[in-house]
Structure 1
Amino acid sequence: MTRIGIILGSTRPHRNGEQVAHWVLDLASRRPDAEFELVDLRDHPLPLLDEPFPPSLGRYQNEHTKQWAARIASFDGFVFVTPEYNHSTSAVLKNAIDYLYSEWNNKAVGFVSYGSAGGVRAAEQLRLIAGELQLADVRAQVILPFATEFENRRTFAPDDFAVRSLDAMLGQVIAWSEALAPLRRKRSAAA
């Protein structure tokens, strides 16, 4: 069964992302075509990148990196739930991504973004990063503006369009994750 990790990309106190990530997990878990698991970056307290070698070499020295690598390697695809901070994604999500390389390769990724402008600029920055990591980013995405999807900017209340957008994005992530499986198998056999 295809395994998709839903990565909650905020660790702030009172973060809106927690409501969003649990909504994604709840709706995704109703699907029969994949298994979904929430990956909360609070549970993986990575310091600012502290590995002595570039991640592309795969020569991880620190135990926290090895644990993070094993966690990410266990998935076939991802959904990044990202806030938008200063026209970009969160530093904690970027740092977690930067720790690894091959564990991201030949997998699919979709984006659920939230913020004043729906987090679209954060998702666009993540698309650039995905390309470098050989992550196939899917076209469909979920955009959650504070003005329409949150009551008083705090209580998440997604509309029907958000639900349909999520379903479309999940379908694409699953399809692309399955389509990329031969590349992952080929790479594993060569290693």
Structure 2
Amino acid sequence: METRMAKPRIAVIISSTRQARFADKPAAWLMDKVKDHPELDFELVDLRDFDLPFFDEVASNAWVPSKDERAVRWQKKVAEFDGYLFVVAEYNHSITGALKNALDQDYVGWNRKPMGALAYGSMGGARALEHLRLIAVELQMVPLRNAVHIGGSEFFKVWTGGQNAPMSEIEGVLQGSLKSTLEELVWWTKATKAAREA
């Protein structure tokens, strides 16, 4: 009997933890779009569910095992995946402090895996995503060229502080970039997974 290979696993990481965040809305839309993906399995990972302290280890876990059990729990979660899609909020032209701290809490788990994003904000979260890509390079991830950006009038249409329209109202604008991002994510996930396992 033929055994089916398990599909590579992708974490969709919600990177804002504040109570009034907008992230849940685009994250739910994204998870609905990828739920039946033929080549990848997606899991929603919410930073709120990981009570991470500010990084306070003697060194990165690339050099010394982390002592704080919360950091270790997070590292085990990061290691479960073959790639990452970050739901990126832009705070003052960069990523959230919560996301930067979560990235700093691990090094080993992120290595040699692709990362993409759904970014949002008045400028589509573009400036935050550029910062995230630079951090990803240092963590030895493979930042994707493509991304989904919710910005400008589309952002203000669906944002909970704006018109709060359903995501379906701007879906047509996002479909092309989502398709390109997922195609690129599949390619790099397969390539990096094969290389890591070789």
Query: TM-score, length-normalised on structure 2?
Result: 0.89
- Output the CA distance in 1 between the equivalents of 2:141 and 2:172: 29
The farther-off stretch of 107-116 and 158-167 is: 158-167
Aligned twin of 1:55: 61
Supply the distance in 2 between the matched residues of 1:152 and 1:123 (Cα, whole angstroms): 20
Letter in 2 for 1:173: L
Residue in structure 2 matching 1:42, options 15, 38, 48: 48
Over the residues paired in the alignment, what is the CA RMSD in angstroms?
1.5
Show the 5 A alignment for 1:8-47: 8-47=14-53
1:167 aligns with 2:179: yes
Quick one: which amino acid aligns to residue 40 of structure 1?
D
From the two aligned structures, give the one with the greater strand fraction: 1
Maintained 8 Å contact 2:114/2:144? yes
Cα 1:153–1:146, aligned 2, differ >3 Å: closer, same or farther? farther
Q: Gapped runs of 5+ residues in structure 1?
A: 187-191
Structure 2: segments with no counterpart, 5+ residues: 1-6
In structure 2, the residue matched to 1:125 is 131
Answer whether contact 1:147 1:153 (CA < 8 A) is retained.
no
CA distances 1:129-173 after superposition (whole Å, capped 9, x unpaired):
011111001111111015213436312523312122112212211
Q: Deviations over 1:49-107 (max 9, x none)?
A: 12222232151111111111110000000001110000001110111011111100010
- For 2:150 and 2:124, the matched residues in 1 are separated by 4
Partner residue, 1:189: none
Matched residue count: 186
The 10-residue stretch of structure 1 (128-137 or 175-184) with the greater mean CA deviation from structure 2: 175-184
CA distance in 2, matches of 1:11, 1:89: 12
**Contact 2:121–2:155, Cα closer than 8 Å, also in 1:** no
* 1:176 paired to 2:183: no
Identity over aligned residues, as a percent? 38
C-alpha contact 2:9 2:83 (8 A) present in aligned 1: yes
Partner of 1:5: 11
Deviation larger for 141-150 or 90-99: 141-150
- Aligned residues of 1:58 and 1:101 also touching (Cα < 8 A): no
| Correspondent of 1:135 among 141, 154, 172 | 141
Q: Within 1, Cα distance between the matches of 2:189 and 2:196?
A: 10
Q: Does 1:93 align with 2:105?
A: no
C-alpha distance in structure 2 between counterparts of 1:115 and 1:20, whole Å: 12
Which one has a bigger Cα radius of gyration? 2
Q: 2:83 is matched with which residue?
A: 77
Q: Which moved more, 1:127-136 or 1:44-53?
A: 44-53
